[in-house]
Amino acid sequence: MQNLKLILNVIPTYLFYLLPIFLITGPLFSDLTIIIISLLFLIQLSIKKNFKIITNKFFIIFISFCVLITINSLFSDDIRLSTLSSSFYFRFGLFALAVYYLLEKDYSILFVLKNVFLFIIIILFFDTLVQFFYGKNILGFENNNTSNFRITSFFGNDEVLGSYVARFFPFIMSLIFFHKYKKKKEINKFFLSPFIIIIFVTVFLSGERTAFFLLLISSFLIFLSCSDIKKHFVISFFVSVIIIFLISSFNPSVKKRMFDTVITQLNLLNPSERVVIFSKTYEGHYKIALNMFKEKPILGHGVKIFRVYCAKPENFVSDVACTTHPHNIYMQFLSETGIIGFLYLISFFVFITYVVTRNIFSRILKNNKLLTDHEACLLIFYFVTLFPFAPSGNFFNNWLSIIYYFPAGFLIYLNKNTLIKNEL
């Protein structure tokens, strides 16, 4: 019995701590981790014969979405490909509930998680500098993308360093503020400014323009939402701008990747051609997605069917338009899950936008806190992660899905225990 308790209680907690590290190695270990955590969670519920937790309103809505995409897959052009993703998508919801279950027993695991993330960010920063100056990271990984400037650090050939850091930044800030909230201690502001500078420099050096854009948005929203650290955010931002300016001045490859290419792709300097949406390649993806939506507007073509649809000669748009996904999650939902699936996504984003905006205006105009700083940062994480006006990865990709759902258990916990329950 003692061994069983160890397995059911200790192992999920330590796997939760290790998950941010496993995400750096790729989707295999991270996906296996959430499966193990979810299975141990179900076993624990079965032993205690207490399934009340699965009646949580978030989980019920999530399961209805899983049913929808599974039905869509059964009517898709490639049932096997589509159902492989949709049939087991429920594991992410179980993982979120499992994390909420852990937090209900001991919320202090978030303090350890905060330290894990801080350690990871610092290591990634120094390794990024090593790869930037010497061409290889400390493990000898080189970036083989010679046509574009990219730094990938421990991610190897996966060009997601900036995405990882930028997307998790608001969540890490939420953990920092949560620690302050529970321990009733002031944040170490001598640490906070260097940490923010490290975030900006790492994301900029990654060469990921979308990640840098999302980082700017999240930083601006955190600045407006969290009054206690405004001064440190301003200082950190201006120091980061100076460092970025110096890097761009002495390294033409960085400047070309982060600034010049953007101007060229948008046709901003070519008055004879119209401005395009992000680039001609992305615009081609969106045209295909809209064509798919027009054909099946209610339920869509099925998860992961974009690649199948665009590969058919009759659906040709341009030589660079066909790929595995539309590179925008809203376009992906319209094309693959139809208007019904799209409503799940857009409703959640609009609600998050409403709560974040309402909190900001209340602070500015009335000097009144509707949300604590850690609640505001957690919602900003979802605002930025689901931001519609930016290119994005495949929503149903295992790696990205884990990032989407990683803080979901914390969100459910806050909904049950703190101020956020008045908003959600």
| DSSP per position, 184-229 | T----HHHHHHHHHHHHHHHHHHT-HHHHHHHHHHHHHHHHH-GGG
pLDDT range class, residue 261, cuts 50, 70, 90 = low
pLDDT digits (tens, 9 = 90+) for 153-202: 999 889 999 999 999 999 999 999 999 888 877 777 678 899 999 999 99
pLDDT (tens digit per residue) in 186-200 = 777 678 899 999 999
| Confidence label for 353 from pLDDT (cuts 50, 70 and 90) | very high
pLDDT bucket at 73, cuts 50 / 70 / 90: very high
Report whether 360 contacts 221 (CB < 8 A): yes
Q: What is the pLDDT of residue 265?
A: 56
Distance CA 271, CA 287 (A): 23
pLDDT of residue 145: 63
* pTM for the structure as a whole: 0.93
How does DSSP classify residue 316?
-
Q: Is the pLDDT of residue 276 over 70?
A: no
Nearest CA-CA partner of 137 in 145, 146, 128: 128
Q: Comparing 261 with 184, which gets the higher pLDDT?
A: 184
pLDDT classification of 68: cutoffs 50, 70, 90: very high
pLDDT of 142 over the 90 cut: no
Least confident window among 31-40, 78-87, 227-236, 307-316: 227-236
The pair of three-digit structure tokens given for residue 308, joined into one six-digit string? 């199948």
